[in-house]
Amino acid sequence: MFDSTLIYTIFYILVATCFVYPPNEFVSAGFTVQCLFSSWLGSETENFIQYHIRRTVATILSHSFLGLGYLLGVCCINHNDRLSVWMGSPAWNMFVVVSLLLPVCAGILVMSWWKDRWKFHPIARTLSAFCSQNNPPSWVLVAAEINIEFRSSCDNHSVSPSGPGGAQFLNIEVKSFVPNTKSFNIRLNALDFKDLQDKVNRPINVLQNITFHRTLTDRFLDAFKEQVVQNVLHETSQCDNNNTKINLPQSHDIVCLKVPELCIGCMAATSNVKLVKLCVSDNSVGDDPCTRCNCRPMWCIDCMAKFASRQDQAHPETWLGSKCTCPMCRSRFCVLDVCQLRPFNTS
């Protein structure tokens, strides 16, 4: 009999633990609070707040009966001597008393929440703190607005677990100016932090030791600009009114500019790069070789780097060695053909 009780105890502890913290197998089998009480809970989409109020009540009540359920199972195993189940050592007697009192205390707690349409439930009390001061505080009005917002929300996520790079998530603590309102935390992808910062009308304080990880595209832009800095500088000079071009021996052409032009990509920075074919073409490679570009400097290095970053997202290792086309004349170039401009004096 002792062996049967021990096996039952181990089995019940395992099942109870999986019921409180359900794994994927229990969720698939429907052995969760949400599935067992689905008819009473209702639809989460239609009544989001009311659904979670009922869910918390069902969770507290069902978990409070776990100890009593264990005792009833032991009684079924020891059916010949059921009196010994309820009387034993002081520790066992304490467990029996706690198992009997937990459902009673949980029922009293739920009844106190249930008064006046769940007005005293912790969720309802939290929502009451955000009611308008001009009207009588009613958490139902705030809950109705949240329900409408939840029903109208629609998010599309493209998830690629095997994709390149890692993901950085931020834990943000939200402190309310409403008195007697506890702070709460939200978890956000670092890539969406800028959007959140633009939408909220309150300052967001970032700790000094927090470093935002850069995206794969941002790291490519840095590597692209570092390589351009190492390339040969392209000479420019101030020209006469005819805007003529001066050729120097053993050098590439000099582009004469009357005044520095703004980048046609951002219209903010000065155009400071030009495409000059400097790389050595390899005819043995199947890819098309780079060609000469005759366009005048019209782009800044940031816009040119962003244009060159439009690569195959599935193969980021080939970005820096790939070829692109000029935004204007469609001439092919690589990162070695992007040259920064340097003022040149003809005197």
Which contiguous run of DSSP H or E holds residue 193? Answer: helix 193-199
Range picked from 2-6, 120-124, 184-188, 328-332 for highest mean pLDDT: 120-124
145 lies in a domain?
no
Whether residue 231 sits in one domain with residue 206: no
Q: Which of 94-108, 114-128, 210-224, 234-248 shows the lowest per-residue confidence on average (mean pLDDT)?
A: 234-248
Among 108, 139, 170, residue at a domain's last position: 139
240-274 residue pLDDT tens: 444 444 343 344 444 555 566 888 888 888 888 88
Query: Are residues 244 and 267 both part of a single domain?
Result: yes
CB 74 within 8 A of CB 12: no
DSSP run (H or E) holding 84: helix 83-86
230 shares a domain with 121: no
Query: How far is residue 83 from each of residues 8, 297, 318, measured CA to CA in Å?
Result: 18, 95, 76
Average pLDDT of 15-24? Answer: 94
68 and 111 belong to one structural domain:
yes
51 and 79 within one domain: yes
Cα–Cα distance measured from residue 270 to residue 291, given in angstroms and rounded to the nearest whole number: 25
Number of structural domains the chain divides into: 3
Same-domain check for residues 69 and 194: no
Clarify whether residues 255 and 165 are in a common domain.
Answer: no
Within a domain: residue 107? yes
The predicted structure's pLDDT at residue 343: 63
pTM: 0.52
My answer on whether 173 and 260 are in the same domain is: no
* Boundary-marking domain end, from 196, 213, 230: 213
Rounded Cα–Cα distance for residues 335 and 324 (Å): 9
Kindly state whether residue 37 falls inside one of the protein's structural domains.
Answer: yes
Residues 305, 234: one domain?
A: yes
Using CA atoms in the order 51, 53, 56, 62, what is the torsion angle rounded to 10 degrees? -80
* End-of-domain residue from the set 173, 196, 213: 213
pLDDT digits (tens, 9 = 90+) for 54-66: 999 999 999 999 9
**Is 185 part of a structural domain of the chain?**
yes
Range of the domain at 32: 2-139
With respect to residue 151, please indicate whether it lies within any of the assigned structural domains: no
